[in-house]
């Protein structure tokens, strides 16, 4: 008689425990109506060089933390260094040509012109005196008109030579013509731009971290050929880590951008606090039927939540999480 009663009591206790567990689970579900499942997503920064070359140095390893400005990698740059050296030499030559165009003739050339002018003036004085003497002789009848004409022609030639040398000396002091100076200035600007381009090309062969973050991956090894524009290092800045969750349509109307969220992560005792940064305007898994009360319950909207950088470093892309809305 005692064994059936004991068996009945055990069955009753088991049923009671099962009902209690069910009630607890139902109670918990009712206590967290705003909790949904989600996952961690990362928006990566792919660091590449716009120029091709052999990977000469890789300064970081996967999993390392870098700060903005830290060196990441460098490609071989012998050709770019040679191009920069050539551009700098061409710029120096262009500047020298410009300075030479602005200056007059050399001092020795100016001295030679001054000496020739002095000699021409002396010859002009002599020819003018000879012309006066011939005029007096012609008036007295001692000379023929032919001698007078010869003396006048000599005087005119000496005068023209003096005028020509004076013009040459003035031109020697002035330097090159205006259009030649402008052409030399334009050449200097062109060579200066060529130097700037060569400097930029050389600088692009070595890349630094644009932001502080985690080195998520390295895609090439030292000695490998890297094509132009191909990323070598993949960074994950903490501000680019976010949580994505899918919220059923009946709950999406109560969620606002900027609303705080609590994210539960496996292995972390305390939830991580973030805020809703974006609500997608289109529903996921939309059934191809007219929206009825029953079909609307199948709609889900994806939301994104972001965190402070100090909090975001505790999350890892692909990690499943539980998201609870509200403070």
- Convert the pLDDT of each residue in 229-285 to its tens digit: 999 999 999 999 999 988 888 888 888 999 999 999 888 888 999 999 999 888 765
Strands 71-75 and 225-226: unpaired
Of the chain, the end-to-end C-alpha distance in Å amounts to 58
In a domain, 19, yes or no: no
Q: Which two tokens stand for residue 316?
A: 């890892």
In a domain, 16, yes or no: no
Q: Which two tokens stand for residue 131?
A: 């012309």
Q: How far apart are CA 127 and CA 153, in angstroms?
A: 9
pLDDT along the chain (327 residues), means of 10: 48 45 44 74 95 96 95 96 96 90 70 82 85 79 75 85 80 69 90 96 96 95 96 95 87 88 87 91 59 54 87 87 80
Residues 190 and 94 in one domain: yes
Are 260 and 275 within 8 A, CB to CB?
yes
Q: How many residues does the chain have?
A: 327
Domain count, the chain: 3
Would you put residue 175 in left (φ > 0), alpha (ψ -120 to 50) or beta? Answer: left
Closest CA to 77 of 227, 223, 226, 204: 204
Residues 290 and 229 in one domain: no
Residues 230 and 267 in one domain: no
| pLDDT reported for residue 298 | 63
Are 74 and 57 within 8 A, CB to CB?
yes
In a domain, 275, yes or no: yes
- Using N-to-C axis directions, what is the helix angle for 78-102 and 178-204, rounded to 10°? 160
Residues 174 and 94 in one domain: yes
Are 303 and 247 within 8 A, CB to CB?
yes
Residues 248 and 284 in one domain: yes
Residues 99 and 157 in one domain: yes
Q: Which two tokens stand for residue 188?
A: 């200097």
Q: How far from the centroid of its chain's Cα atoms is residue 202's Cα?
A: 13
In a domain, 143, yes or no: yes
Q: Looking at residue 39, what DSSP letter applies?
A: E
| pLDDT reported for residue 219 | 96
Residues 179 and 220 in one domain: no
Q: How far apart are CA 43 and CA 277, in angstroms?
A: 14
Task: Mark which of 179, 200, 221 sits at the end of a domain.
Answer: 200
Residues 106 and 188 in one domain: yes
Q: How far apart are CA 70 and CA 63, in angstroms?
A: 15
CATH of the domain at 211: 2.40.50.100
Residues 115 and 142 in one domain: yes
In a domain, 25, yes or no: no
Residues 51 and 108 in one domain: no
In a domain, 298, yes or no: yes
CATH of the domain at 300: 2.40.30.170
- What is the domain range of residue 55? 45-76+206-235
Residues 68 and 215 in one domain: yes
Q: Where are the alpha helices (DSSP H) in 178-269?
A: 178-204, 249-252
Q: Any bridge partners for residue 231, and if so which?
A: 48
In a domain, 124, yes or no: yes
Q: Any bridge partners for residue 233, and if so which?
A: 47, 218
| pLDDT reported for residue 26 | 43
Task: Mark which of 200, 227, 261 sits at the end of a domain.
Answer: 200
Q: For residue range 36-63, list pLDDT tens digits in order.
A: 888 999 999 999 999 999 999 999 999 9
Residues 248 and 305 in one domain: yes
Q: Any bridge partners for residue 40, and if so which?
A: 243
In a domain, 166, yes or no: yes
């Amino acid at each position: 008689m005692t064994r059936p009663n004991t068996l009945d009591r055990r069955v009753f206790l088991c049923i009671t425990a099962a009902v209690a567990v069910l009630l607890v689970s139902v109670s918990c579900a009712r206590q967290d109506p705003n909790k949904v499942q989600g996952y961690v997503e990362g928006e990566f920064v792919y660091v590449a060089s716009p120029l091709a070359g052999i990977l000469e140095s890789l300064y970081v390893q996967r999993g390392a933390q870098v700060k903005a400005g830290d060196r990441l990698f460098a490609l071989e740059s012998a050709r770019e260094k040679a191009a920069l050296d050539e551009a700098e030499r061409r710029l120096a030559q262009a500047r020298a040509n410009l300075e030479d165009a602005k200056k007059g003739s050399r001092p020795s050339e100016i001295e030679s012109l001054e000496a020739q002018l002095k000699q021409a003036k002396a010859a002009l004085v002599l020819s003018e005196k000879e012309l006066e003497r011939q005029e007096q002789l012609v008036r007295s009848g001692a000379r023929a008109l032919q001698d007078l004409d010869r003396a006048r022609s000599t005087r005119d030639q000496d005068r023209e030579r003096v005028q020509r040398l004076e013009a040459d000396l003035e031109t020697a002091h002035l330097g090159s013509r205006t259009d030649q100076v402008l052409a030399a200035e334009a050449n200097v600007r062109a060579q200066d731009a060529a130097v700037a381009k060569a400097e930029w090309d050389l600088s692009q062969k070595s890349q630094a971290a644009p932001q502080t973050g985690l080195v998520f991956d390295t895609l090439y090894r030292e000695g490998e050929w890297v094509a132009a524009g191909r990323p070598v290092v993949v960074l994950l800045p903490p501000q680019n880590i976010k949580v994505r969750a899918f919220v059923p349509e009946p709950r999406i109307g109560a969620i606002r951008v900027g609303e705080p969220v609590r994210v539960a992560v496996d292995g972390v005792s305390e939830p991580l606090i973030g805020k809703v940064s974006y609500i997608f305007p289109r529903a996921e898994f939309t059934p191809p039927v007219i929206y009825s009360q029953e079909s609307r319950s199948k709609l889900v909207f994806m939301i994104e939540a972001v965190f402070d950088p100090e909090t975001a470093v505790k999350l890892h892309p692909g990690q499943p999480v539980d998201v609870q809305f509200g403070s």
